Structure 1
Amino acid sequence: MTIPKIELHLHIEGAAPPAFIRGLAQEKGVNLTGVFNEDGSYKFEDFSQFLRVYEAACTVLTGPEEFGRLTTAVLEQSIEQGVIYTEAFLSPDFCGGGDVGAWREYMHAMQEAAAKLPEIEMRGIVTCIRHFGPDKAKAAARCAAETAGDFITGFGMGGDEMQGKQGDFAYSFHMAREAGLRLTTHAGEWGGADSVRQAVRDLEVERIGHGVQAIDDDALVDHLAEHEIVLEVCPGSNVALGVYSDWHSHPIETLRERGVLVTVSTDDPPFFHTNLGMEYDLLGHHFGWEDDTVREVNVTAAKAAFCDDATREKLLKALEPAS
């Protein structure tokens, strides 16, 4: 598929190629027993184990230099899939432990690595980790607010959606909003439709990470459509983790038909044995998506991107059909 692609939901650590993490572990003499299957892929059976393996893999990412190398490896994967713009979730908890000074060094390393790859534009969404609690979220929000600008353009929240409520983190989201950052949060992946409602009501986000369980609440679906709240949908991730049993059960097409603005992303692609090209191929196979739909979804992503207007216009121009 030659249509340029835009990805809005990608965790930088979760996109790390397994070989990259194994190589770092060997360099540092770190034992990552239990992290990989015999074939070298990441090893997990459910969401809680996925989080543990994810965080274990992150233990070899201990400095700005490693995150610069990681950024290069991740973006090179994206370029291979025809991605021309990506927004990556970047967590100060993994990059300096929430200290603003240390975070700046990590951020600069990632920004410099991204700048060396002109084929793709990257922006960072600083992300707090929900199961680390509201106090650590405030430190992440402070890092975001202090470095808001051309590269850091958004603030969001990932982690275990079953811990606490969206509103517990309202202070951090308010801090980020005051700094001019755009807002998104994970909801409706595991927390049900009500978690999406909480996110919209209590955090006033303009995008929702996943959000697919909104399908269980007709009034909420109508609200999302009416208010043009964009869903960052990751179908392959949802199926791999068992949110939905198979692709046929996934609600992305029903949501789109109901007028909800949906985009397509990979979340943590090596964990789920996917890439953005595969996602679109499977959407075509299961839901009949053809070029017009793929282009429409990527235009939605360009319009919803947390970037400056000049970058947005460039993306939209790249998505125009060839005359």
Structure 2
Amino acid sequence: MGLTFADILDRIRILDRDVTELNRLKSRLPADRPYSSSLQISFDKQINNLLNERIRLLELEVDRPPSWLLGDSEAHESGRSTASALLEPADLSGQKLQDQDVINFIRELPKTEIHLHLEACVNKETMKKLMVKNGISLSDEEFEAKFNFKDLNGFIQVFFFIQSLVKEPADLYYFVGSLAEYMRTNNILYTEVFFAPSKFIQNGLDFDEMVSQLVEGIREEKAKDGIEIRILVDVSRSFGPENAMNNLNRVLKLKQKEIIGIGLGGAELMGPARDYVEVFKKAREAGLRVVAHSGEDDGPWAIWEAVEQCKAERIGHGTSAIQDPELINYLRENKIPIEICVTSNVFTGKYVRKEQNHPVRYYYDQGLPLCINTDDPEIFNVNLTYEYFKLWRFLDFSLEEIIDLVRQGVYATFHPQKETLWKGMEVKIKRIKEKYGVR
């Protein structure tokens, strides 16, 4: 049996009081004492546990919910009411719209996307072409079975499988073609994609030749209809700081305009951002842009390291930022965008177990700069259109707010002419709104 609504509210008030007190104590820690770092981590972990308990309480079924809070809500109709549903009733002004109408509207909107991995943009048709080209034999059943993963390890195995299809640098040309097809299907005009070279280099491929194939494909796709692709080289935690510096040096030696920066990806718990300070410093001094996956699998302290020590210009995922009000203020005041990946975060399940719990709604309401992304579209069987749709369907974003997020996505890019890009998109969006009767 669930708790009463009053009981849940009482428990949440106590949790909020305790979180406030812990944040107050944490703020009083002297920065120059040897014990400060370990105490800071201890405070952060306690706060993290309290916030997770708060989320759990919000998702409890309410026993005998107050009738004055139910109204005609979906929760009432289904006979179930959670605390979060009662505390944050949905804005029903857009509910007359059919799901497919909203999907069609979003699909037509011109967009940008700046957090996705090249290997995860390769569609199955392209994979099969590479299998034939490189003599890799799998039955249809064996091939499809690879994509029926249920956990993070299964996901990683799919990623490794896609990488194993590349036997020579020229195979990466196919990757670019698949990415471009994905962009056109979702009306994405500009993207910044992560390319992780370390595994390929381990397998004997030459970095310069790989980049040459990528650049050739990028330029050919732009010549077709103007879509733009830029590369962020993933220096990757998974291979350590020395390998990261080696990858950076390879980038600096090439000086290709299509490579605009580096990103710190890989397993977050395998390497804190502070281990890569020198890599980021050298990249910044050379004029490269720098971003970091952070707060996806670790707490807000990891994000602090990324922005304060590595000077990351954007944060990938950032789901644990919600645990630290000071961090929220810092990101907002310093205009550091968070690269939101709803489907990916729900799948990994560290901080978000379902779409309705994703902190993107809170981040938006707090005025944080955001951009919406897929992370791994072909592997998760999702696309940018549906990522935006989920915001409307599960997180009460209006269509105007979705358009605002599209705008924010443009200004979160490293595009050299953001204002010009947005003005062109704005003209198209106005026509699309008129077509669908959106005001």
Match of 1:114 in 2: 218
What are the within-5 Å matches in structure 2 for residues 22-61 of structure 1?
22-30=128-136, 39=144, 42-61=147-166
The alpha-carbon distance between structure 1 residues 39 and 51, as it changes in their structure 2 partners (threshold 3 A), is: closer
Identity of aligned residues (%): 29
Contact 2:292 2:312 in 1 (8 A): yes
Q: How many Å separate the matches in 1 of 2:361 and 2:323?
A: 14
Q: CA deviation at 1:219?
A: 1.2
Contact 1:232 1:263 in 2 (8 A): yes
Query: Structure 2: any 5+ residue segments left out of the alignment?
Result: 1-105, 432-439
Match of 1:153 in 2: 260
Contact 1:42 1:270 in 2 (8 A): no
Q: Give the residue type in structure 2 aligned to 1:190.
A: D
Match of 2:189 in 1: 84
Higher mean displacement: 37-46 or 61-70: 37-46
1:241 paired to 2:318: no
Tell me the secondary structure at the aligned position of residue 190 of structure 1.
Answer: coil
The alpha-carbon distance between structure 1 residues 234 and 219, as it changes in their structure 2 partners (threshold 3 A), is: same
C-alpha deviations, 1:276-318, integer Å up to 9, x for none?
Answer: 0111111111123233222222222222212223xx2332122
1:93 paired to 2:198: yes
Q: CA deviation at 1:246?
A: 0.7
Q: CA deviation at 1:48?
A: 3.6
Which has the larger share of strand?
1
Match of 1:70 in 2: 175
Contact 1:43 1:53 in 2 (8 A): no
Match of 1:207 in 2: 314
Larger Rg: 2
Q: Give the residue type in structure 2 aligned to 1:114.
A: I
Contact 2:371 2:412 in 1 (8 A): no
C-alpha deviations, 1:234-277, integer Å up to 9, x for none?
Answer: 10111122231110011111111111111001001111110001
Which has the larger share of helix?
2
Q: CA deviation at 1:46?
A: 2.4
Q: Give the residue type in structure 2 aligned to 1:253.
A: R
TM (norm. structure 1) is 0.91
Q: How many Å separate the matches in 2 of 1:281 and 1:220?
A: 28
Higher mean displacement: 117-126 or 259-268: 117-126
Query: Structure 1: any 5+ residue segments left out of the alignment?
Result: none
**Aligned residues between the structures:** 319
TM (norm. structure 2) is 0.68
Q: CA deviation at 1:144?
A: 2.3
Q: Give the residue type in structure 1 aligned to 2:165.
A: V
Q: Give the residue type in structure 2 aligned to 1:316.
A: W
1:14 paired to 2:120: yes
1:288 paired to 2:396: yes
C-alpha deviations, 1:119-149, integer Å up to 9, x for none?
Answer: 4111110111211111111111112222345
Tell me the secondary structure at the aligned position of residue 271 of structure 1.
Answer: helix
Match of 1:304 in 2: 412
CA RMSD of superposed structures (Å): 2.3
Contact 2:110 2:425 in 1 (8 A): yes
Q: Give the residue type in structure 2 aligned to 1:171.
A: E
Contact 1:18 1:40 in 2 (8 A): no
Match of 1:322 in 2: 430
Q: How many Å separate the matches in 1 of 2:282 and 2:218?
A: 27
